[in-house]
Amino acid sequence: MPNPLVPQGFLNRVRGAVTVTDIPALNVTASFLGKDAISMRPDSAATDIIPTLTGTVGSQVPYQQVTITMHLLRTQGLAASYQNRFASDTSLGEVV
């Protein structure tokens, strides 16, 4: 059980941004995000496990493909901008 006399502080849950370098109109800042904000999930293993004669060794993957989920507010125009973009072209270019 936590000590009730120790202040727990606050978490800043709305600090996040996604930058689309080729299309600045699609940049996402905290004001466009809903409660779940941004999540990033790797699509494959970040480290390959290679067997050796006496065990295993890890080899980190130099490039990682990921899935980014941005929980945008529908009341903001940015959500419609993404929907219109994906209707015509699903390529965003470099996303940071």
Query: What separation in angstroms does the CA of 37 have from each of 18, 73, 89?
Result: 11, 10, 24
Confidence of residue 11 (pLDDT cuts 50, 70, 90): low
DSSP string over the chain: ---TTS------TT---B-BTT-GGG-B-GGGEEEEEEEEEESS-SEEEEE-SSSEEEEE-SS--EEEEEEE-TTSHHHHHHHHHHHH------B-
Name the pTM for this structure: 0.68
Which residues, other chains included, contact 81 with Cβ-Cβ below 8 Å and sequence gap of 6+? 25, 26
**Which pLDDT tens digit goes with each residue over 32-60?**
988 888 988 999 988 999 999 999 999 99
State the average pLDDT over residues 21-30.
Answer: 93
**Which pLDDT tens digit goes with each residue over 12-25?**
656 789 999 999 99
